[in-house]
Amino acid sequence: RTETPGAPPPGAPSLPEGADTTDLDVRRISDVPRAPVLERAFSVTSQVYRVRWTVDARKLKSSDREAVSPLFELSFTQAVQFKMVIRPKTVHELRGGASFKKAKGKGSVEMRCLERVSSTVNPVVTFRIAVGSGHGNGEPARGPVKHDFSDRAICGLPDDIKEWDFAKHVDPETQTFVVCLEILSGAAAAAAIPLS
């Protein structure tokens, strides 16, 4: 399913032609916050399930301490809900030292399990993470990382490769960047040498 930023959802109310718009609050499209876009696709050939999250670059200038994707599900012995989380690089330990604004567009990506799952569900995921502008000119995927979400609900890349320069990947036209989570399965997961 693909969601388009700025487009009204199907069946959304609209004004009839010739309606009086004098009392309406009309704002420029650039003033309207864009909803995060999540695209999901599975490649039968590579056995990779990709979750692409298009992030509004205005987040990188905010004092926020994290950005969270819309939820997506992965199937084990049952469906389990996840989200991606972007965290800014910690610049200093004082108040505001872990904000996107202070980090100047640098940070990390983590995968968060939203449910408490037992080991009987076997919630083991082998994944890679990539960041880009959405036009195919991003950095290569980093990883793979193999993680059991029954042990810990959140996991990212190892410390030595976890930092991304998100600002470097902002598309100047759309003012967005893309985070791609690649879930490896089958032969791709078996062939992957997990990072420690």
Tell me whether the omega of the peptide bond preceding residue 144 falls within 30 degrees of 0, making it cis. Answer: yes
Looking at the chain, list the stretches that DSSP marks H as alpha helix, in order from N- to C-terminal side. Answer: 100-103, 186-191
Split at pLDDT 50, 70, 90, the class of 20 is: low
Q: How far apart are CA 194 and CA 196, in angstroms?
A: 6
Structure tokens at 138: 């991003």
Average pLDDT over residues 27-47: 72
Say if residue 82's pLDDT is above 80.
yes
Predicted pLDDT at 36: 58
The residue whose two tokens read 């009392």 is 23
- What pLDDT, in 10s, does the model give residues 140-176? 999 999 999 999 999 999 999 999 999 999 999 999 9
Express each pLDDT in 90-146 by its tens digit.
Answer: 877 776 568 899 999 999 999 999 999 999 999 999 999 999 987 767 889 999 999
Q: Residue 98's pLDDT is what?
A: 82
What is the C-alpha separation between 171 and 131, in angstroms, rounded? 12
Q: Which amino acid is at 62?
A: S
CB neighbour list of residue 55: distance below 8 Å, 6 or more residues apart: 36, 67, 69, 86, 166, 176, 177, 178, 179
SS3 of residue 51 by DSSP: strand
Q: Are strands 106-113 and 164-165 parallel, antiparallel or unpaired?
A: antiparallel
Q: Kindly state the percentage of the chain with pLDDT values over 90.
A: 63
Q: What is the pLDDT of residue 138?
A: 82
Query: Residue 38 and residue 21: Cα distance in Å, rounded?
Result: 33
Mean predicted lDDT score pLDDT of the chain: 83
Element (H, E) at 154: strand 154-156
DSSP 3-state of 41: strand
